[in-house]
Amino acid sequence: MRIQLFLKSVVIVSGLVFLSSCKEEKKTITEDKVVVSFKKEGTLTLKKADSNSIIKTIDIEIADDEYTTQTGLMYRNQLKVNHGMLFIFPDTQMRSFYMKNTKIPLDIIYIDKNKTIVSFQKNAKPMDETSLPSEAPAKYVLEIYGGLSDVWNLNVGDTISFETL
């Protein structure tokens, strides 16, 4: 009799343990902890080298200090077609960028001290830490949404002008 009572207790306890372990776990939805929005700080005009005709005018954010040049367009979930980021460096030298913590594809356009495009890194892959160097010394770097330099038919030798707010 005691053995039957013991076995019934074991079965009941085992069943309760089994049922409690089968409950559905709550799903956790993670959201970006950092949300960065575009803040217009100027306008930039791209011009054809041979005719000086305007290719495109876009709104820009400016990166001209250590923090903004280090973070650039990191953590952004989007970049509109008419937006970009212009990096302004104090000197002209070979430059190299990478896509760490950058969620969107970018075209990276290297520009010399005369505001002439000297090289491109097109459709840079999001979140990739591979070095993306310039092919000539640059004082400015323009980042736009990936693929737009081809859509706009930008070429080495085309120029920029910009105004800050």
138 bridge partner residues: 93
Q: Rounded mean pLDDT of 50-63?
A: 97
Q: In sequence order, what DSSP letters do the residues of 120-141 get, joined into one string?
A: EEEEEPTT----EE-SS-EEEE
Burial (CB < 10 A; 0-12, 13-18, 19+), residue 105, is middle
Cβ atoms of residues 140 and 88 within 8 Å: yes
Cβ atoms of residues 43 and 57 within 8 Å: yes
Quote the DSSP letter at residue 116.
B
pTM for this prediction: 0.80
Q: Lowest mean pLDDT: which of 15-19, 83-87, 137-141? A: 15-19
Residues 73 and 37: their CA atoms lie apart, in Å, by 10
Q: What is the pLDDT, as a whole number, of residue 32? A: 56
Q: Please check the confidence at residue 79 and state whether its pLDDT lies above 60.
A: yes
The residue among 82 and 4 whose pLDDT is bigger is 82
Q: Rounded mean pLDDT of 89-115?
A: 97
Q: To the nearest whole percent, how much of the chain has pLDDT over 70? A: 79
List the CATH code of the domain at 42-164. Answer: 2.60.120.1140
β-bridge pairing 83-93 and 138-145: antiparallel
Cα torsion through 66, 98, 37, 82, rounded to 10: 110
Domain locations in the chain? 42-164
Q: Rounded mean pLDDT of 42-65?
A: 97
